[in-house]
Amino acid sequence: MNKSRFENGLELLTSIDGEAGHKVLESLQDICPDLAKYTIEYPFGDIYARSGLDLKSREIATVAALTVLGNCVSQLKVHLNAALNVGCCEEEIKEVILQMSIYAGFPAALNGMFAFKEVLVDRAV
């Protein structure tokens, strides 16, 4: 039997984000479990599970997007961890954040870099 979009998505999320992704989902259980379900199904079950772009490139695109958006630091941190988990080295991630100064300005790049600093400190513990 085929796995469901949810099962595929959860498996992929677990392999990429580990605990961080699960914590987000758990924190939704008492307020809106359906949002947790959709957050697994569409982003991970449908999109990240697609072939056509390797996971490392997907996380580079996501780090760029969330640095530019600038108002979702906790999601950015999840994906900075994810980027490291799927094989981006620290230097590559810094380059992506740095490059966003061109498109979204220096404050966005600075805030992205400070988020990455916190991620690296947390991982060192």
The residues that touch a copy of itself, with contacts defined as CB under 8 A, are 24, 27-28, 30-32, 34-35, 38-39, 42-43, 46-48, 50, 52-53, 57-58, 60-72, 74-75, 91-92, 94-111, 113-114, 116-117, 120
We find the least distance from the C-beta atom of residue 104 to a copy of itself, in angstroms, to be: 5
Residue ranges with strand state E in 24-88: none
Size (the chain), residues: 125
We find the least distance from the C-beta atom of residue 26 to a copy of itself, in angstroms, to be: 12
Q: CB-wise, 14 or 74, nearer to a copy of itself? A: 74
We find the least distance from the C-beta atom of residue 18 to a copy of itself, in angstroms, to be: 18
39 contacts: CB under 8 Å, gap ≥ 6 = 24, 25, 28
Phi, psi (deg, nearest 5) at residue 31: -110, -45
> Residue 57: in which H helix or E strand, if any?
helix 55-69
Measured distance between the N- and C-terminal CA atoms of the chain, rounded to whole angstroms: 42
Q: CB-wise, 14 or 114, nearer to a copy of itself? A: 114
